[in-house]
Structure 1
């Protein structure tokens, strides 16, 4: 009986210290004293940082269960968050970013949009594509619903 109690106590302790959702943790780290920072701004910043540093992991936590991708390499459709992660990782390795900045965002109650110019290099040639990101709110969380790079 003591062993079972200790085992349950250890399991509760481990699950209690495990970060629930990194979206919540990231928000808490980035909120100011006046709590006026919106989670959408943080997500757009994470997307921008991830793209500039060729690090999909930086924003993969926000990929929805069914993320729509439309990319200049012909990828077009709905993908699970896992599939989207690897597709984007492959895309950014092929179309190496030279510079990227989200220049414009629009925020509504349950949908947010961001767009910017994605300057990249492929086979020694520099080009530009337009990047659009759509965030949707599901419950209290924001997720990337769509990424288009055309």
Structure 2
């Protein structure tokens, strides 16, 4: 009986961790898709109440979820995404993160930027705590 209880509890912990990793992967997929298609709404529901945003254009600071949406939307209206791909993804951490390369068009001039995103577990839900685009 004790062995069964231990096995059940151990499986339950593993299952819970798998769900959390799947939630993290889902956020990263939505983030990648959103940047690729200039569709912030695909990942904006994952913003924390206060997220740190640091952008290539000099905007940097802590923003509410609503402000974060508009700060990134305004940035992408100038640095129009051509493509975005996450190339480094770490999901099995207490603070999951990912990074990738954004290719953009700024007034007819093509450029690239390194993008970094990190997540934080807040009230048992993964939220975007930081986005850096430099």
Taking the aligned partners of 2:123 and 2:40, their CA distance within structure 1 comes to 24
TM-score, with length taken from structure 2: 0.82
Deviations 1:98-145 (A, max 9, x none): 110111111244310100001101010001110000011113200000
- Deviant stretches of 4+, over 2 Å: 34-37, 107-110
Give the Å deviation of 1:77: 0.4
Residue pairs, 1:61-76, within 5 angstroms: 61-76=45-60
Aligned to 1:122: 106
Structure 1 unaligned blocks of 5 or more: 1-33
Q: Which one scores higher on RCO, CA 8 angstroms, separation ≥ 6?
A: 2
Cα-Cα RMSD: 1.7
Question: Which protein is bigger by CA-based radius of gyration?
Answer: 1
Aligned to 2:65: 81
Aligned to 1:4: none
Aligned to 1:54: 38
Taking the aligned partners of 2:93 and 2:57, their CA distance within structure 1 comes to 33
Distance 1:36 1:70, change over 3 A: closer
Deviations 1:72-107 (A, max 9, x none): 011000000000001111111110001101111112
Taking the aligned partners of 2:35 and 2:69, their CA distance within structure 1 comes to 12
1:99 to 51, 66, 83: 83
Alignment: residue pair count: 117
Taking the aligned partners of 1:40 and 1:105, their CA distance within structure 2 comes to 10
TM-score, with length taken from structure 1: 0.74
Taking the aligned partners of 1:58 and 1:144, their CA distance within structure 2 comes to 13
Distance 1:37 1:72, change over 3 A: closer
